[in-house]
Structure 1
Amino acid sequence: MSYPLVTTDWLETNLNLEQLILVDASMSKVVGKKAIEYEMPLYIPNSRRLDLERSLCDPNSSQTHAFPTEEQFTAVAQRLGINSESIVVFYDNQGIYSAPRAWWIFQVMGFKNVFVLDGGLPQWLLENRRVVPNTSNIETEVGNINGIFNPQLICDSNFIFEQMNNKQLAVLDARSRDRFLGIAPEPRDGVRSGHIPNSISLPYSEVLDGHCFKIDEQLAAIFSARLDSKTSTLVFTCGSGITACIILLSAVIAGYRDLILYDGSWSDWGSNIALPVGN
């Protein structure tokens, strides 16, 4: 994977680049932090809008925020005007929240020329850069992108259950420490409190500095302090597979490469009484 972030300076300089597809992937519901609220919608100029919660979640799955199918991904990405040679940049209105999820979906579907705007809309506004009240009204031609799903980049509960005692694999949980310990209630009905046995707590707030990611060296230190030197594969989980992508992206920044998303995350594991809960 190439370096996954672009800066606000880079984006402002390249806003009118022909190959650039800039996409707002904000979500309406924010969990795990106090949401940044806006009096009116604001967008970076030339933005296109992606409804991540509806357009890129499989509606036929019982799983919360289930990964889209190849066909679903291809249809949505083509409607956004994305071609094989496009440069896609995602951002969201919380700084770093849902944009990493969109980035990982594109990675899993085989499109690598995709990036996240470090700091998102809040950092853009903090630097007094220009915003607009609507997304781009430019008529978008249908793109030619085709998704090719890589199943090795996501996993389910069966995989984690089988690998729980594998010392070369670590499961990192992006939820708050209190939810991990089971002393804070889960936001979804029917989901037990606690965590996957042998998993490691890494609240996503710990990899952020204000609206942006911490620098590479700081992130590398965060991971090395939690991981055994023999660990080669990292699996990421959270409540429903959204904020897990924040710490997954931070692992890429820190230099890790063998990375997997547990897409069902705790909403899947915690609702299955046949699966154990860690102490």
Structure 2
Amino acid sequence: MSTIDTQDPFVTTEWLATKLGDPSIAIVDASWYLPNAGRDPRAEFAEAHVPGAVFFDLDAIADTTSGLPHMLPTPEAFAAAVGAMGISETQRIVVYDGAGLFSAPRVRWTFRTMGAKDVWLLAGGLPKWRSENRPVESGAATPAPATFTASFDPEAVVDIATMRTLVETGDRQIVDARPAARFHAQAPEPRAGMRSGHMPGAKSAPADTLIAEGKLKDRETLRDQFTAAGIDLDKPIVTSCGSGVTAATLLTALKRAGARDVTLYDGSWSEWGSLPDTPIVAD
């Protein structure tokens, strides 16, 4: 069971600016965008990133055999990949993205699921950093390799078999982070082949409504939003989205609001919406 995590998961740009070059700090650019966004996060990293940052490729540090986007890799594969990036589980890890707050929570959740304890988000992300005229560097990162010792938490992740059971039994609340129009089948999915709608019994809590100025909203505001959406923070919850990215933003917000037991459906709608026999509600 996940523990209550009501702490503010953010560090400020002011704080990070004082830590540049500190070997106890690992800075991770976790930028990733939807397929229809027309942005190349790796090229943008090469153009400008926080000094000392390394690029975390969500689509590469993944189970590439699954046929689904950026599914969790094995602990061994994750450890090898981030170790090659110069990251150890003993460091304080600060994660940001180029949108402000979009894909960074997924990478933070991944690090924590793989055993890193001291993992934070940069408030405002790269947009805030650059708006303050803080230093950036260009080119590829060349970190010295490190050893990351993974300790995988299987209880943090829900798979398709468990998800089918949860939909049937209602043993966990299902909360969907996709935009409301996609949840209600009023807008198409950004990936080809996806059916539209939502899982039976699911509730809608769009991730972008939980964010203000590159940070999660304050705890009481989040609590009020979740209550208005019919979500009981004292009962178990599983989060979902399009491909498991903004489901992590939602998970982080639920924990910030005081939810006691929150897990994440890794396959999310990319899996559920592509299968021929999964029940779907379109309303």
TM-score by length of 2: 0.88
1:120 to 125, 128, 136: 125
**What residue in structure 1 maps to residue 258 of structure 2?**
255
The residue number in structure 2 matching 1:91 is: 96
Give me the whole-angstrom Cα distance separating, in 2, the residues matched to 1:94 and 1:228: 27
- The range that moved more, 248-257 or 101-110, is 248-257
**Aligned partner letter, 2:123:** D
2:57 is the counterpart of 1:51: yes
> Distance in 2 between the 1:39 and 1:86 partners?
22
> Which amino acid is 2:144 matched to?
E
Instruction: Check if 1:187 corresponds to 2:193.
Output: no
Alignment of 1:1-279 (within 5 A): 1=5, 3-27=8-32, 29-30=33-34, 41-54=47-60, 56-134=61-139, 136-137=141-142, 140-164=143-167, 169-229=172-232, 231-279=234-282
Structure 2: gaps (5+ residues)? none
- Residue 29 of structure 2 contacts residue 45 of structure 2 at CA under 8 Å; is this kept in 1? no
Corresponding pairs, count: 275
TM-score (norm 1): 0.89
1:3-32 Cα shifts (integer Å, max 9, x gaps): 4221112211222322001011112x3369
CA distance in 1, matches of 2:34, 2:166: 31
Q: How has the CA–CA distance of structure 1 residues 230 and 68 changed in structure 2, closer, same or farther, with 3 Å as cutoff?
A: closer
Aligned partners of 2:96 and 2:121 also within 8 Å: yes
> For residues 119 and 188 of structure 1, do their structure 2 counterparts lie closer, same or farther at Cα, with a shift above 3 Å needed?
same
Does the 8 Å contact 1:169/1:231 carry over to 2?
A: no
Deviation at 1:124, TM superposition (A): 1.1
SS of 2:192's equivalent?
A: coil
Tell me how far apart the structure 2 counterparts of residues 40 and 143 of structure 1 sit (CA, whole Å).
22
Amino acid at match of 1:70: P
User: Can you list the C-alpha shifts for 1:188-234, whole angstroms capped at 9, x where unaligned?
Assistant: 22211100111011111101113332222222222222245475211
Write the distance in 1 (CA, Å) between the matches of 2:131 and 2:146: 33
- Deviations 1:32-67, CA, capped at 9 Å, x for gaps: 98979979822111211222221x211111222211
Aligned 8 A contact 1:95 1:120 in 2? yes
Q: CA deviation digits over 1:242-262, x for unaligned, max 9? A: 111111111222222411110
Residue 26 of structure 1 aligns with an amino acid whose one-letter code is S
Evaluate the alpha carbon distance shift between residue 264 and residue 165 of structure 1 in structure 2; reply closer, same or farther with a 3 A threshold: same
Q: Provide the C-alpha distance between the structure 2 equivalents of 1:32 and 1:204, rounded to a whole number of angstroms.
A: 18
Amino acid across the alignment from 2:121: V
Deviation at 1:168, TM superposition (A): 5.6
The sequence identity of aligned pairs, in percent, is 36
Other structure's SS at 1:53 match: coil
Deviation at 1:166, TM superposition (A): 5.0
- Take 1:9 and 1:215, find their aligned partners in 2: how far apart are those partners? 20
Structure 1 counterpart SS, 2:227: helix
